Structure 1
């Protein structure tokens, strides 16, 4: 049996697709398989044992590059199964070689937020042996479009790192609010900013801890949040076109010293930072998957407020997290069907929820610890094993 299994997108430690790919690669090694990385890894932070486990894959890359170069611009034919990454309208995700690559079986892993799919995109998806949807709503929507062989398998969380543990009290007695995810309209940081500005006027001990790094300041989602009707985003970019969160918030009335803007942090180093926080908020307008950052705050036992829409429902339907139930249509839905399923969280409800946590922190933490126990069933180990079982990628016996 050929031990290779192809991953046709970039793995890494600082972006969602990268973390997903890294966990897939590690999961394959647990089955004695050789993850075959068709794209060069992005920024990657591994512990010593993870590095040992992935060393054969890294060592094989020069040979793989040589084989690919021999193909010129022609098809890349692999004698092993290959997983491909797809997004809105079945567009490529971090995998330029994917369209040329064909394995003995080909499976699409897809997360999308826009609901318009061209006939060609549907045909492309139906050309895969299976389509793995990152959320129940993604899966249901694809089946409604006539996409065949769809299976819903949500992402996971690294339960060996993201779990409840004592806090170091590095923020003293301040009430710390965590918000993570790359800054863009879909993620709803304008809603977070508006709610925090009002909440901070009530409680001067509140501090907002942001992890909003976005490597694409000219992307559509950034342009959209700059045009937000909820919180003025016109000053989000500095004079050199770079995102400057502290400057943006300060110019909009958020007091200096009340925000800690974290730099880009590898996924594995986040747990001790997030544990210091009293609550996490995710008023995301849409999530194609379950929202990796929200899964991590939940697994850490931090009370987490989730917008009750799209991919978040895979968590809320499991009774994990605290729902932001007041969801209205986003203004864009009136003229663009791509936004029909998006939800706009109420700033007033966010403030009310923050106030409730502020007044009853111990009670909310107790419930959040129960949420963390439920998250154990969504560990990366279990979710990747479920994915491998679906793909029929059996463990290899020693010696193969």
Structure 2
């Protein structure tokens, strides 16, 4: 019997583009193979439009609708690349699972919004689409995030070793995977991942991200600024918790800089932001997964050598730190694979959330179907 094929598409809080994978699934939750992977970058104007939608503004409904249409075109482009690479026709793919682009995340107010036009995507690619994965969990009283711990448990869990998987995108989140059959799996957002670092280098150097962390590594961590940043109440909240650009944005950073008072060199600010990400991840691991001996990192942060070095230093003597490549999955494919997996869970009408992670009242089937 041919293994069923699913596509996963992810565009995260880094707002850089779309990651996509075409995966085959075997029995249960097992991924039997990844047939293709593709990345479609966002043009500058779309990235700017999506960034502007992170905050209230004029004519938001029309601007969001136009951005959603543009996103669907980029998602369809990614799907086309995956089919071309794999040599598979659209008819061989059961479902496309697409996350959409988070523009507001306010579970405390009962909503989360991932802008998208899944109906247009289904029309463009000729494949059934599953979207809006987070809303069902929020409707059940949950945070709607993070959703990846259930996937991490299925793919990266180990009978003999307690592990932590850390996804460092715009926001960082971790999944705690105790040894054994997944009992006690938990996870939560730890705070900013790359979002503040990306915003700061864009402001000062016109670049969208700090390649390899070189600019941050050229500066010195400012202890006073780090203390101001770490005083944020979110870091002291007990899980379940999730966050986004609604909280961690450049205005939040500028307010901390004003409290410090003295001017700080931009490269030193970048070094401090990198340390903030590493320190808050390490503190979360120490507080909630003290028996974990291996930490596996995915997302764009895994490509930041300076950040990885700081994280290793923060966890020295407690846990080893490496990317998910050590487990056979490239770090830039993990989240897209998660949404292929969630699409399969929807297809089988199986739950995709973990109430212990999100705080929902129970297990829920996640997503909404848009037939081709």
TM-score by length of 1: 0.32
Highest CA radius of gyration, 1 or 2? 1
Bigger proportion of residues as strand: 2
